[in-house]
Amino acid sequence: KEMNEMANDSVVSTTPEICHFEQPPMINIRFWLVAVFGSTVSFISIMNNVLLFYVFISRKHHRSNHNVYLMLLAFFDIFVSMAYILLMSVNVLIDYLISPTLMQLWYSYMVPMITISHVAMTSSSFLIVCASFERYCLTVNSPFLPFAQNNRKLIAGFAILFGVVSKGTMCLEFEFYDLPECEGLITQTQMRYPDFVFNTPYNVVWRFWYRNFVTVFAPFFILAYFNIRIVKALTKHTKMTVCQLAGNALVEQAKRKMSENPNLDPVKRKATARAATRTLVMVVCCYLVSNIISVALTIWEHLDKETLGKDYVK
């Protein structure tokens, strides 16, 4: 036993201080919460989004109507869920197991995966804005409605392009270097930012102003505005009097008797449109709730970055 202790002391004493690795606090809780529970939720998300994407892409009418936005959202959500497992869960697993092999594997795909995930998330937020704009135009009977309906694929393409342009340069913002004295240890490879990231206007103009305001603030507040207007319009619609509803029902019943094609039933069309609108409202609400913390932290960082970094970031 004494010989083992002496050997351990020898190993510790000969290991450079720069190679020392200490497990993060609450590693057991993080393992079960992030690596186990989070990965399970992400796997379920992948399966559901694969199914949704298949349903939408396998039917031609879904690829040409308003569901094209939901189809693309399902496609990008697959990559976001995969990125969670490969980036977050594996990273926690590395800390839990203290595995140099896993760490080297993680570094090998980290840059392209984090770039793809951010492009997917940003493109998704722009796609939700586009879908909400069309629903808003439909709800308020805007003159822009024909343009939004006739150019869905073009609008969706521009949304994805903006996502790629906004976050595609993230692949250039990381570089790795090895510490020869830490060879074979978990701290062998280190990551840092290239000089241009902080020493050029790229940091302030692009990373802070453009990315924060165009990819965080703008989608959040635009969606909040559209959602409020859509919900108000739906609420106003549901406040129709019983007499109005009865009168409309009699009129529509007479129209149905005169119509030879029941598929063109305007009542069904309106009900379907309202259902699609409510679905989109729920999607937008989920987006707003999930991003409110990010928006708050971004505002805090802009107003008082020193306090945020000093008191809350360790």
Using CB atoms within 10 Å of the CB of residue 58, give its burial: 0 to 12 exposed, 13 to 18 middle, 19+ buried: exposed
Q: Is the pLDDT of residue 159 over 70?
A: yes
Q: Which residue do the tokens 């609400």 mark?
A: 285
**% pLDDT > 90, the chain:** 49
- Note the pTM of the prediction, 2 decimals: 0.80
Asked whether residue 112 is assigned to any structural domain, the reply reads yes
- Tell me how many domains the chain contains: 1
Asked whether residue 45 is assigned to any structural domain, the reply reads no
Helices (H), 38-99: 39-57, 60-64, 67-83, 90-97
What band does 232 get if pLDDT is binned at 50, 70 and 90? Answer: confident
What is the residue range of 214's domain? Answer: 2-21+98-311
Query: Average pLDDT for residues 300-308, to the nearest whole number?
Result: 68
Q: Give the Cα separation of 100 and 126 in Å (integer).
A: 38
| Whole-number pLDDT of residue 27 | 93
Query: Average pLDDT for residues 162-177, to the nearest whole number?
Result: 95
What band does 256 get if pLDDT is binned at 50, 70 and 90? Answer: low
Query: Which CATH number fits the domain that encloses residue 285?
Result: 1.20.1070
Give 112-140 pLDDT, tens digit per residue.
Answer: 999 999 999 999 999 999 998 998 898 88
Contacts of 137 (CB under 8 A, 6+ apart): 144, 145, 148
